């Protein structure tokens, strides 16, 4: 805790961060969205450490979620969307796991899940919305009564209530707050003081982080305290919401990181293909996760040529003219 020089002591390694904060059975929220800013290096480390039975809570998730499901780390899922856009309209290992009955899951919508994180961040037990009325999201439950009694799992999927502020008929959906055990996310910048700055879209990362009991952040760059505090309007999370910080350049590959690198279309296409076949997928994991002991090794395997192609333009924040088919 000797942080009175204004510098945080929370810097650590991928290995230590995962070991300390993520347990088998943990409820985990993943930052990013489909193919952007997924905390991939953290996902790979979770797989390498053989963590099982995770309960994942997310809105629209793609690569990190799919690789965790494929590696058998996930027992349970609350989700709005499992896809990688044009690179996997439905994420393949996610699809298979559900079709095979391998995971317990429950569907919400993107706004519903984001509002649930917001409620968690605000410290309120539920939040109302009109979204969902008439949908099977209201009628079809996925969790068993036993699951609903578990610690930190909502007792009911949702509740429909008459708006008490009007005499007219006005049904409202109440969504239970989400308070993950851990939120993992990848940011562009973290200050030496522990302040987090995300550039480009923030998705629901900030709500997810504030709703959680612990937060692990990987980042592209560590910057000085003076730099990050010279424009505090741009920062997203103060140090006290963050529990572990790891500098991991290209920590979101093969997903994108605004201002740093684009998503890797070849890798994503290759992944979708191998994910279709159990044996091929096992080989993929061996090759890209289990067979590598560090993120540096991973990047060597990706190769400098690819990294150069993916490099974002300083003007647009993405790789102009990248071959994306």
Q: Between 304 and 323, name the residue whose CB sits nearer to other proteins.
A: 323
The Cα–Cα gap between 68 and 222 comes to 27
The Cα–Cα gap between 110 and 137 comes to 12
The 10 Å Cβ neighbour count of residue 309 is 17
Out of other proteins, a second copy, none, which partner does residue 30 contact, by CB within 5 to 8 A per kind?
Answer: none
The 10 Å Cβ neighbour count of residue 77 is 24
- Select the span of 20-28, 80-88, 244-252, 276-284 touching other proteins (CB under 8 A): 80-88
Task: Report the nearest approach of other proteins to the CB of residue 290 (Å).
Answer: 27
Q: Name the DSSP letter for residue 312.
A: P
What's the angle, vertex CA 159, arms to CA 133 and CA 164, rounded to 5?
85
- Judged by CB under 8 A, the residue of 126, 227, 270, 290 near a second copy is 126
- Select the span of 10-18, 42-50, 92-100, 295-303 touching other proteins (CB under 8 A): 92-100
Per-residue contact flags (x/-) with other proteins for residues 5 to 44, judged by CB under 8 A: ---------------------------xxxxxx-------
If one asks whether residue 167 binds other proteins (CB under 8 A), the answer comes out as: no
Residues 6 or more apart whose Cβ sits within 8 Å of residue 297: none
Following DSSP, what letter does each residue of 142-179 receive, concatenated? -S-HHHHTSTTS-SSS-EEEE-TT-SS--EEEEEE---
- Quote the tokens at residue 126: 């539920």
C-alpha distances out from residue 137 to 78, 106, 178, 179, 187, Å: 12, 9, 17, 20, 32
Per-residue contact flags (x/-) with other proteins for residues 40 to 79, judged by CB under 8 A: -------------------xx------------------x
SS3 325: coil
The Cα–Cα gap between 71 and 47 comes to 7
Q: Which residues are registered as beta bridge partners of 197?
A: 189
Out of other proteins, a second copy, none, which partner does residue 24 contact, by CB within 5 to 8 A per kind?
Answer: none
The Cα–Cα gap between 240 and 228 comes to 15
Per-residue contact flags (x/-) with other proteins for residues 255 to 294, judged by CB under 8 A: -x-x---xx-x-----------------------------
Q: Between 25 and 85, name the residue whose CB sits nearer to other proteins.
A: 85
Task: Report the nearest approach of a second copy to the CB of residue 152 (Å).
Answer: 12
- Judged by CB under 8 A, the residue of 17, 65, 137, 185 near other proteins is 137
Task: Report the nearest approach of a second copy to the CB of residue 231 (Å).
Answer: 8
Cβ atoms 259, 317 nearer than 8 A:
yes
If one asks whether residue 322 binds a second copy (CB under 8 A), the answer comes out as: no
Q: How many residues bind other proteins (CB under 8 A)?
A: 94
Task: Report the nearest approach of a second copy to the CB of residue 129 (Å).
Answer: 6
Out of a second copy, other proteins, none, which partner does residue 72 contact, by CB within 5 to 8 A per kind?
Answer: none
Q: Between 48 and 187, name the residue whose CB sits nearer to other proteins.
A: 187
Please give the residue ranges that form the binding site for a second copy (CB under 8 A). 115, 122-130, 154-156, 159, 161, 163-167, 170, 172, 174, 176, 199-200, 233-234
């Amino acid at each position: 805790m000797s942080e009175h020089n204004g510098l945080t002591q929370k810097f650590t390694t991928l290995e230590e961060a995962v070991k300390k904060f993520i347990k088998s059975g943990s409820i985990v929220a993943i930052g990013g969205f489909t193919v952007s800013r997924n905390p991939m290096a953290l996902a790979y480390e979770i797989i390498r450490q053989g963590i099982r039975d995770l309960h994942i809570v997310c809105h629209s998730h793609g690569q990190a979620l799919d690789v965790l499901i494929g590696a058998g780390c996930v027992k349970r899922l609350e989700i709005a969307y499992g896809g990688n856009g044009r690179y996997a309209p439905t994420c393949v290992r996610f699809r298979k796991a559900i079709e095979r009955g391998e995971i317990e899951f429950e569907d919400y919508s993107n706004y519903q899940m984001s509002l649930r994180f917001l409620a968690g961040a605000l410290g309120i037990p539920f939040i109302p919305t009109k979204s969902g009325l008439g949908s099977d999201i209201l009628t079809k439950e996925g969790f068993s009564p036993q699951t609903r009694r578990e610690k930190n799992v909502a007792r009911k999927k949702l509740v429909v209530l008459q708006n008490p502020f009007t005499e007219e008929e006005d049904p409202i959906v109440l969504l239970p707050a989400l308070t993950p055990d851990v939120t993992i996310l990848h940011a562009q910048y973290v200050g030496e003081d522990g302040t987090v700055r995300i550039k480009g879209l923030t998705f629901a990362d900030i709500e997810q982080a504030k709703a959680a009991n612990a937060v692990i952040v990987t980042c592209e760059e560590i910057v000085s305290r003076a730099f990050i505090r010279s424009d505090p309007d741009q920062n997203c999370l103060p140090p006290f919401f963050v529990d572990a910080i790891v500098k991991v350049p290209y920590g979101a590959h093969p997903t994108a990181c605004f201002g740093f690198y684009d998503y890797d279309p070849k890798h994503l296409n290759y992944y979708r293909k191998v994910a279709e076949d159990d044996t091929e997928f096992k080989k993929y994991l061996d090759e890209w996760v289990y067979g590598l002991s560090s993120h540096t090794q991973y990047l060597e395997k990706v190769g400098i040529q690819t990294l150069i192609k993916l490099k974002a333009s300083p003007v647009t924040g993405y790789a102009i003219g990248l071959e994306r088919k």
